[in-house]
Structure 1
Amino acid sequence: QLVNMYGITETTVHVTYRPLSLADLEREASSPIGEPIADLSWYLLDGDLNPVPKGCVGELYVGRAGLARGYLKRGELTATRFVPDPFGAEGGRLYRTGDLARYQADGVIEYIGRIDHQLKIRGFRVELGEIEAR
């Protein structure tokens, strides 16, 4: 069985789990990313941290116990990527993944792409802006 596990380094590596089916293969240009793992939550939010309706694209935010505390010795970066959680317990935070997704009509979350020009090569993040700057 083929399983799609969406993950980011700022969590305990994996965020979602979805066993793929033949029906998933028949979806045109779709990448379903599954359900959140037990110690994580996720939200699809607009630029004002409001949930987006089904069918609309939003940024994927991740929160709860499996989320890292921030970036070591990178307070400014931590402050921009780890934001207060408006939906959870006081003091909770959400991580802005930079990934775009949308809820399909059946509730499945579909990965769309990136907000920025970051890409991954063999699991390593590559910031194209850094390459262009050099």
Structure 2
Amino acid sequence: MNKLKVNTITLPPSVLNVYKPPDLPYLEKVVTAGEPCTLNTAVKWASSHKDIKFYNAYGLTETTVCAANYEFTKGLGHEDFNRDIPIGKEIPGACVYLFDELPQPVPPDVVAEIYVGVLGLSKGYIGHASHYNTDKFIRNPLSDDMLLFKTGDYAFQDPDGT
């Protein structure tokens, strides 16, 4: 990466944690995705010797990867360094919902399952996994024009929509 002067990377936190910011002096932007990212990892990179923009992205293979994004800025006060940082807000072209078991939307601060709709959403599984389609790919109860993917992940929404 140094030989090529790479300035932007996307890595899962477990791989990112193999490096230290001084190891990659050309970096300007770090995107982490693929697994939960702790505050400790975000602080390490966003508070490095130079200003590196740090993003936590969320998405799934079925949603053509990214559906939500969170820009971490140094100086955010959090009490627990082992806490996962937020997955952020939906990106343009994506819809991210938190639904109860009905499925219906839940208010902020209520833990519920994440459902994602994006323009590139798969139409379903084929072959040996196709029997999961009716459980995992559902019509959006709020809009008939979009298919949603039931992720199996759970979250809550802050009052600001994060």
TM (norm. structure 1) is 0.71
Structure 1 residue matching 2:132: 3-state secondary structure? helix
- Name which of 80, 88, 92 aligns with 2:143: 88
Structure 2 residue matching 1:55: 3-state secondary structure? coil
- Given the superposition, is the C-alpha separation of residues 2 and 58 from structure 1 closer, same or farther in structure 2, using an over 3 Å criterion? same
Count of matched residue positions in the alignment of Structure 1 and Structure 2 = 107
Structure of higher CA gyration radius? 2
> Does structure 1 residue 66 correspond to structure 2 residue 120?
yes
1:23-38 equivalence runs, <5 A? 23-24=75-76, 26=78, 28=80, 29-38=83-92
Indicate the percent of aligned positions where both proteins have the same amino acid.
34
- For 1:76, give the aligned amino acid: H
Structure 1 residue matching 2:135: 3-state secondary structure? helix
- Name which of 58, 79, 101 aligns with 1:6: 58
Judging by fraction of residues, say which structure has more strand.
1
Structure 2 counterpart of 1:42: 96
Contact 1:17 1:33 in 2 (8 A): yes
TM (norm. structure 2) is 0.60
- Structure 1 residue 30, shift from structure 2 partner: 4.4
- Structure 1 residue 70, shift from structure 2 partner: 0.8
Give me the CA root mean square deviation. 1.8
- Structure 1 residue 40, shift from structure 2 partner: 1.2
Name segments (4+ residues, structure 1) moved above 3 Å. Answer: none
Contact 2:67 2:118 in 1 (8 A): no
Task: Give me the whole-angstrom Cα distance separating, in 1, the residues matched to 2:75 and 2:159.
Answer: 14
- Structure 1 residue 27, shift from structure 2 partner: 5.5
